[in-house]
């Protein structure tokens, strides 16, 4: 039973504060006895233990040995262990021994074993780390047997907060982890975890399900599911209660390895832990100012050169051409010039005639620090974009800290000061508003496109935004493209929270290299809200997120890699996590263009004119359901396709099917009540299809004619509400065909397996509507 009453909470705080008794101690390891105390308080059965302190007098030694004898009476044995906070691998130094007692054993026999172990330990060179000895109850179990030993752990992730990790336990824990490529464990966010979610995770796991299910190894399940889930929930509750955003000490980690299954019970027989005084910083940023950042009406640029096209001057000219900023409210700061490229120059920020919505800072790091201090002190702006790097990423954390301290002080004032994005960022392109990328428009034009008004791309990397914008120029133009860099003030979570308030945006795509401390937990909360409100959060997580400094050395760290924690937490919150950059862009394209299409289910209709595609797609369905076509569809396919075509689902029309026949087949498939979604592919090189631009000297095809394959498909797909993706698997000659489909707002891919995976992901993420 999970305990969370007042007495348990009081006792918990007493134990943790006792460990941190030294006021100078920022963190301290827990010894095994203390771990057992915490587990027992929170409803997890721990083996009985008795501590023999090094300084114990004769009476205390006798009392200890009497208790050990009583504890050992059932099995005539106990486990003797060395006790020490900094001794993590007791077996390696001879600090673990199974003691067998005969029925005539006396207290002196127990003490003799204890003294012999202490003598060995003193000679091994670890005497300074020894606090005493621990006598542990002997718990019979099948050691080194799958389904008998469990790793049960809690951990405070520095970004995402409390997590629970369950895995195969015992001495083979890490071996199982390597042998299964990391699939020997489950990682679950502790906060808001429910018994149903925990049970479903265990029962679906290919390894851990052996605990609660009959198998050839265990005719009867080793433990009842409800008992195992109760232990997981108790660990989650304890992790949440002692998280870094709660009052009191932070329980950084407890690892129980193993917890053994004995007579249907789960009993913790070994454990390590770490407690600290770490707390998460409070978030005080005035997020309402992001409106000024994304839709400014006035702006000033610091760092525009009068001599050449430096980043500041390029940004100034991009702002000059931007429709959102009034020409008479754009300024530059320059100590000598009257104007640059028609933009009036002022000597200093103090000369500004108004408080501006946006300051773009393009001067080196040290000067940037001083300029931001002036902006905050004089309250001259609503928002700041800090372009240059040269801060923490370049070893100058002091400059970054100065800026962060200045901004935080501004946020605490009545006016709350400006918000800032950056440094080390490329800036922002806000559709129909402005562009602060320091790239000339002839290199990156941001050609307008209808698609993308519902999309915001929020990226820690400015270069990634450049590649996305270039690859999809004229096809997808996001409502906002935000490079947030070092997150010295505004974070990725701040921007996600902002776009939850923007009705027009229903897809937020985030490229993230790392979360600031505690900010991952805010991101998870915002992602859950997005899912409830029908918005989609797509994320590509690059790099690693540290699990917390000075975490206890344990198996957990090797089993739960930083990326694995991030992925588990993000997916639990409803975010769609891409594993590769290709997949990330596939998902952005699919979710942006298919948003608003009705999802009735996962019955997919597939058509191609290539047999290899019909075979390959079968391995990439990932939850899509392949049902036979109904009689109405079959009748059309029999009528229009060659007699040797394969007319089941997936349908292979063969290269002999012409444009009109192919289109009629597609229309029949999309019209069928037995089809919820579709993958329509063509290898376009067959002369039977009209899909090339006009070239009268070579052929009679006309890609842009009303009867072309492209225009027929676009009309048919546009008349349907069903999610549909297209595939064109051929080379550069057919780029105009792909472009025409994409400009019409249809997701188009060059490989059918990528199309299938993206469609399956879309349908999984979007709540199905009633048929």
* Interatomic CA distance for residues 396 and 460, integer angstroms: 19
At 555 the pLDDT is 43
3-state secondary structure of 472: coil
SS3 56: coil
| Nearest residue to 271 via CA among 92, 44, 8 | 44
Are the beta carbons of 69 and 110 closer than 8 angstroms? yes
48: nearest Cα among 62, 29, 30, 64: 64
Mind listing the pLDDT tens digit for each residue in 138-177? 999 988 888 889 999 999 999 999 999 999 888 777 787 7
In which band, very low, low, confident or very high, does the pLDDT at 551 lie, cut at 50, 70 and 90?
very low
pLDDT of residue 393: 60
- For the chain, percent of residues with pLDDT exceeding 70: 95
Helix (H) / strand (E) element for 519: namely helix 519-532
**Cβ within 8 Å of residue 500, ≥6 positions away:** 526, 529, 530, 533, 535
Distance of alpha carbon 403 from alpha carbon 365, whole angstroms = 10
Separation of alpha carbons 66 and 711, rounded Å: 90
pLDDT tens-place string over residues 478-490: 999 999 999 999 9
Residues 340-375 have pLDDT tens digits of 999 999 999 999 999 999 999 999 988 999 999 999
CATH entry, 6-137, from 3.30.1490.20, 1.20.1050.10, 1.10.8.190, 3.20.20.140: 3.30.1490.20
Q: How confident is the model at residue 549 (pLDDT cuts 50, 70, 90)?
A: very low
CB-count exposure of residue 305 (10 Å: 0-12, 13-18, 19+):
middle
Query: How many CB atoms are located within 10 Å of the residue 557 CB?
Result: 18
Mean pLDDT over 300-327 rounds to: 94
Spell out the long-range contacts of 285-289 with Cβ–Cβ below 8 A and sequence spacing 24 or more: 285/411, 285/419, 285/489, 285/490, 285/494, 286/411, 286/416, 286/417, 286/419, 287/419, 287/494, 287/497, 287/498, 289/382, 289/383, 289/416, 289/418, 289/419
Q: Tell me: pLDDT of 22 over 80.
A: no
* Residue 289 burial (10 A CB sphere; 0-12, 13-18, 19+): buried
Specify the higher pLDDT residue, 727 or 26: 727
Residue ranges covered by each domain of the chain: 6-137, 149-276, 287-516, 596-765
Average pLDDT over the chain reads 91
Q: What integer pLDDT is reported at residue 157 of this predicted model?
A: 93
287-516: CATH, from 3.10.20.30, 3.40.50.1370, 1.10.10.60, 3.40.50.720: 3.40.50.720
Give the class (CATH, top level) of 149-276: alpha beta
Phi, psi dihedrals of residue 546, rounded to the nearest 5°: -60, 140
Task: Return the CATH class of domain 596-765.
Answer: alpha beta
Looking at the DSSP bridge assignments, the partners of residue 430 are: 434, 480
Cα distances (Å, whole numbers) of residue 118 to 14, 105, 124, 133, 134: 30, 20, 10, 8, 11
pLDDT (tens digit per residue) in 224-277: 999 999 999 999 999 999 999 999 999 999 999 999 999 999 999 999 999 999
pLDDT of residue 771: 42
Of residues 481, 500, 492, the one with CA closest to residue 521: 492
Please answer whether residues 242 and 251 qualify as being in contact, where contact means their C-beta atoms are separated by less than 8 angstroms: yes
Evaluate whether 362 touches 410 at the Cβ level (below 8 Å): no
pLDDT at site 389: 78
Percentage of residues of the chain with pLDDT beyond 90: 79
User: In angstroms, rounded to a whole number, what is the distance separating the alpha carbons of residues 170 and 153?
Assistant: 13
Give the pLDDT score at 595. 87
Same CATH fold assignment for domains 6-137 and 149-276: no
> Any idea of the CA torsion for 528, 532, 534, 538, to the nearest 10 degrees?
10
Q: CB within 8 A of 418, min separation 6: which ones?
A: 289, 359, 375, 376, 381, 382, 383, 384, 407, 410
The predicted pLDDT at position 750 comes to 96
Residue 16's nearest CA partner among 344, 243, 223 is: 243
How far is it, in rounded angstroms, from Cα 135 to Cα 138? 9
DSSP-assigned beta bridge partners for residue 302:
333, 361
Any idea of the CA torsion for 744, 746, 747, 751, to the nearest 10 degrees?
-90
CB 652 within 8 A of CB 646: yes
The DSSP output letter for 693 is -
Tell me the pLDDT band of 547, cut-offs 50, 70 and 90. very low
pLDDT > 50? residue 559: no
Q: Which residues pair with residue 254 across a beta bridge?
A: 154, 273
Given pLDDT bands bounded at 50, 70 and 90, which one contains residue 184?
confident
pLDDT band at 654 (very low <50, low <70, confident <90, very high): very high
Cis peptide bond N-terminal to 650, omega within 30 = yes
Q: What is the pLDDT of residues 76-94, one digit of tens each?
A: 999 999 999 988 788 888 8
- What angle, rounded to 10 degrees, do the helices at 225-241 and 195-204 form? 120
């Amino acid at each position: 039973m999970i305990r969370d009453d007042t007495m348990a909470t009081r006792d918990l705080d007493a134990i943790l504060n006792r460990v941190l008794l030294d006021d100078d101690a920022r963190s301290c390891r827990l010894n095994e006895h203390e771990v057992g105390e915490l587990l027992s308080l929170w409803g997890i059965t721990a083996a009985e233990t008795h501590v023999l302190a090094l300084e114990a007098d004769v009476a205390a030694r006798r009392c200890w040995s009497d208790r050990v004898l009583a504890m050992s009476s059932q099995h005539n044995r106990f486990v003797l262990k060395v006790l020490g906070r900094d001794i993590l691998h007791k077996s390696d130094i001879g600090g673990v021994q199974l003691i067998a007692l005969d029925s005539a054993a006396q207290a002196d026999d127990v003490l003799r074993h204890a003294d012999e172990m202490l003598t060995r330990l003193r000679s091994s060179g670890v005497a300074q780390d020894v606090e005493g000895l621990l006598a542990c109850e002997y718990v019979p179990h099948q050691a080194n047997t799958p389904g008998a030993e469990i790793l049960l752990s809690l951990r405070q992730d520095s970004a995402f907060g409390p997590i629970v990790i369950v895995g195969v336990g015992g001495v083979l824990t890490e071996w199982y982890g390597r042998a299964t490529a990391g699939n020997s464990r489950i990682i679950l966010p502790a906060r808001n975890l429910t018994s149903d979610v925990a049970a479903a995770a265990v029962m679906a796991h290919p390894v851990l399900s052996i605990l609660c299910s009959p198998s050839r190894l265990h005719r009867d399940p080793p433990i009842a599911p409800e008992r195992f889930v109760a232990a997981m929930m108790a660990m989650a509750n304890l992790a949440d209660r002692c998280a870094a955003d709660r009052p009191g000490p932070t329980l950084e980690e407890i690892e129980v390895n193993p917890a053994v299954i004995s007579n249907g019970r789960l009993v913790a027989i070994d454990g390590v832990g770490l407690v600290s005084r770490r707390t998460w910083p409070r978030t005080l940023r005035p997020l309402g100012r992001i409106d000024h950042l994304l839709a400014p009406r006035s702006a000033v640029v610091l760092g525009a050169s009068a001599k050449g096209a430096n980043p500041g001057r390029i940004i100034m000219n991009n702002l000059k051409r931007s429709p959102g900023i009034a020409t008479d409210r754009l300024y530059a700061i320059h100590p000598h010039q009257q104007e640059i490229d028609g933009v009036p120059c002022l000597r200093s920020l103090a000369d500004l005639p108004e408080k501006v919505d946006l300051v773009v800072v393009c001067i080196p790091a040290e000067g940037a620090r001083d300029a931001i201090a002036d902006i905050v002190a004089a309250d001259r702006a609503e928002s700041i974009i800090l372009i240059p790097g040269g801060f923490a990423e370049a070893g100058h954390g002091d400059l970054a800290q100065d800026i962060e301290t200045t901004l935080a002080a501004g946020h605490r004032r009545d006016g709350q000061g400006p918000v800032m994005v950056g440094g080390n960022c490329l800036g922002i392109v806000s559709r129909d508003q402005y562009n602060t990328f320091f790239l000339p428009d002839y290199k990156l034009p941001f050609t307008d496109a209808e698609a993308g008004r519902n999309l915001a791309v929020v990226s820690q990397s400015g270069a990634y935004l450049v590649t996305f914008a270039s690859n999809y120029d004229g096809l997808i133009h996001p409502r906002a493209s935000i490079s947030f860099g070092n997150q010295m003030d505004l974070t990725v979570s701040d921007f996600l929270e902002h776009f939850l308030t923007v009705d027009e945006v229903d897809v937020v795509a985030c490229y993230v290299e790392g979360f600031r401390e505690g900010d991952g937990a805010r991101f998870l909360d915002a992602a859950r809200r997005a899912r409830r409100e029908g918005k989609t959060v797509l994320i590509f997580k690059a790099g690693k997120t540290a699990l917390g400094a000075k975490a206890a050395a344990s198996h957990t760290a090797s089993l739960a890699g930083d990326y694995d924690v991030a992925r588990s937490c993000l997916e639990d919150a409803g975010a769609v996590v891409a594993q590769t950059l290709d997949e990330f862009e596939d998902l952005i394209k699919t979710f942006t263009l298919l948003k608003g299409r009705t999802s009735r289910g996962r019955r997919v209709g597939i058509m191609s004119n290539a047999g290899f595609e019909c075979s390959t797609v079968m391995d990439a369905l990932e939850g899509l359901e392949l049902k036979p076509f109904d009689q109405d569809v079959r009748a059309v396919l029999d009528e229009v396709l060659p007699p040797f075509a394969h007319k089941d689902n997936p349908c292979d029309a063969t290269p002999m099917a012409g444009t009109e026949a192919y289109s009629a087949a597609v229309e029949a498939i999309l019209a069928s009540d037995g089809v919820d979604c579709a993958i329509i592919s063509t290898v376009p090189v067959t002369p039977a299809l009209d899909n090339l631009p006009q070239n009268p000297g070579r052929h009679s095809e006309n890609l842009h004619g009303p009867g072309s394959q492209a225009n027929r498909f676009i009309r048919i797909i546009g008349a349907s509400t069903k999610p549909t993706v297209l595939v064109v698997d051929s080379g550069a000659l057919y780029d105009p065909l792909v472009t025409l489909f994409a400009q019409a707002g249809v997701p188009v891919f060059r490989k059918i397996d990528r199309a299938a995976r993206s469609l399956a992901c879309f349908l999984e993420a979007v709540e199905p509507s009633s048929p």
